[in-house]
Structure 1
Amino acid sequence: MAAVLAPAPAVAQAYQCQVPKGAIALPAPESGEEVRTRVTGYTLAASWSPEYCRTRTPSQADARQCSGKQGRFGMILHGLWPEGADRSPQWCRTERQPGEADLRQNLCATPSVKLLGHEWARHGSCMAQSPAAYFTIQRVLWDNVRWPDFDRLSRRRNLDAGAVRQAIAQANPRWSASQIGLELNPRGWLEGVRLCFNLQFKAVACPKWQLGPGDAAKVSIWRGL
């Protein structure tokens, strides 16, 4: 696993990111229906921040990510999800919660304290013994991702899902288009990317439900940066 997770340069997706100097309020612990099942693989979920922020700029809860005062963000790390054969494990009971150091170390990749707390409670608690271990695994995976120029992609005429997958695969030679899932909203705007891994954190083909729209589906990318 250490060889798979060896660090490599990545294209920055956080522009002028600033971590708050003062105290960071810890998120209130979340809970949900506990599901414990055998882990069969993992999904590294990324979200296209400009699309997310289109209607959320005035929201206080999303101010860090969307106001532009503490950074401007492109593709952000949504989270690392353990997957199961039928149902995915989630909301595993734990007394451990993210500390301020955990949050500070990850706020430029995931610019939301609330989202960091949510991802640990729902997903990380079912695959790691501590928040620090969970965030380390997802951060190392994230740092190995190279992203194409989405601004340039957004200007391409007749852009489709196949072209977006190919652009991501070309930036990451170890991947193929079948290992890259896309999430579009009902109007065809890009919302996120799903990268599929096996238990050894090696890229694998995504299941059909994770792969998202077919290659011919038209895609629009909101630039909003």
Structure 2
Amino acid sequence: MWPRTGTRRILSVLLALWPAAASADRMAGDFDYYVLSLSWQPSWCRTTGDAQDARECAKDSGRDFTVHGLWPQYEDGWPDYCATAERDPSRHEVQAMEDLMTPGLALHQWKKHGTCSGLSAADYFAATRRAFRQVAIPVPFDDLDRNLTLPPLVVEDAFIDANPALSPDGITVTCKAEGLQEVRICLTRDLEPRDCMPDARRDCSRARVLMEQVR
């Protein structure tokens, strides 16, 4: 029989691990809004894709902002890897997303975030596509043909100018090292612009970020 102190210690460890273990018990469809995350492809290629010899990083690939994911959010926090009765997407369904994200990323996004949407995989991918199509990419960044170094706020303001329904609290710009990483836009469950809650706002703290030219 374990000593009482040992039992108490083991119990405290199990309780500490419980939230992570129980995350799969989140109810699908139980969330408040979405975050649409758009990656600046040239930055991802430089930090990750080139080392993987990723096809989407090849010369003349022409990719600027690509979809990282559509993420269900709570007003405070977010769910992931939810239990759902919906089947995983077929190979055809993930391959059909290749113009927005790689098939591998599409499958990962479904498993981590799509399962929490309460939608089927097909409907979740359709919602992701619809959300992306509703966002106008600012002209200066569409097919950027030279490197730019600029304040993150300039990127944010350019998106707001191109998308008048966006508010300054409905968009956040993130960076990784010296490069622009992502633009994240908060949307209602009906995919209309709305303000982000504080835990979804992770603005880049750098004075200037590098936007490498589109390949």
Q: What TM-score range do you get, normalising by the shorter chain?
A: 0.7 to 0.9
Shift >4 Å, 4+ stretches: none
Find out whether 1:206 has 2:184 as its counterpart.
no
Find out whether 1:42 has 2:34 as its counterpart.
yes
Structure 2 unaligned spans of 5+: 1-21
Report the Cα offset of residue 212 of structure 1.
2.6
| CA contact 1:39–1:84 (8 Å) conserved in 2 | yes
Find out whether 1:93 has 2:83 as its counterpart.
yes
Structure 1 unaligned spans of 5+: 1-31
- Partner Cα distance (1:169, 1:154) in 2: 22
| CA contact 2:63–2:214 (8 Å) conserved in 1 | no
Q: What is the identity, as a one-letter code, of the residue corresponding to 2:64?
A: G
Report the Cα offset of residue 182 of structure 1.
0.7
Find out whether 1:57 has 2:50 as its counterpart.
yes
Find out whether 1:184 has 2:175 as its counterpart.
yes
| CA contact 1:163–1:215 (8 Å) conserved in 2 | no
Q: Give the number of equivalent residue pairs.
A: 188
* Higher percent of residues as helix: 2
Q: Deviations over 1:22-59 (max 9, x none)?
A: xxxxxxxxxx9425163111100111110000143241
Query: In structure 2, the residue corresponding to 1:85 is in which secondary structure?
Result: coil
- Partner Cα distance (1:67, 1:51) in 2: 13
Q: What is the identity, as a one-letter code, of the residue corresponding to 2:162?
A: A
Larger radius of gyration: 2
Q: Which residue of 1 aligns with 2:207?
A: 217
Once superposed, what is the RMSD of the aligned Cα atoms? 2.6
- Partner Cα distance (1:214, 1:185) in 2: 8
Matches within 5 A, 1:1-225: 33-34=23-24, 36=26, 38-55=30-47, 56-60=49-53, 63-68=54-59, 71-94=61-84, 96-110=87-101, 112-148=102-138, 149-150=140-141, 151=144, 154-155=147-148, 159-187=150-178, 189-213=179-203, 217-225=207-215
Q: Describe the shift of the 1:206–1:85 C-alpha distance in structure 2 as closer, same or farther (beyond 3 A).
A: closer
Percent of paired sites with the same residue: 28
* Structure-2-length-normalised TM-score: 0.76
Q: Deviations over 1:125-170 (max 9, x none)?
A: 11133110100011011111111122379536xx212211110111
| CA contact 1:49–1:75 (8 Å) conserved in 2 | yes
Q: What is the identity, as a one-letter code, of the residue corresponding to 1:142?
A: F
Query: In structure 2, the residue corresponding to 1:72 is in which secondary structure?
Result: coil
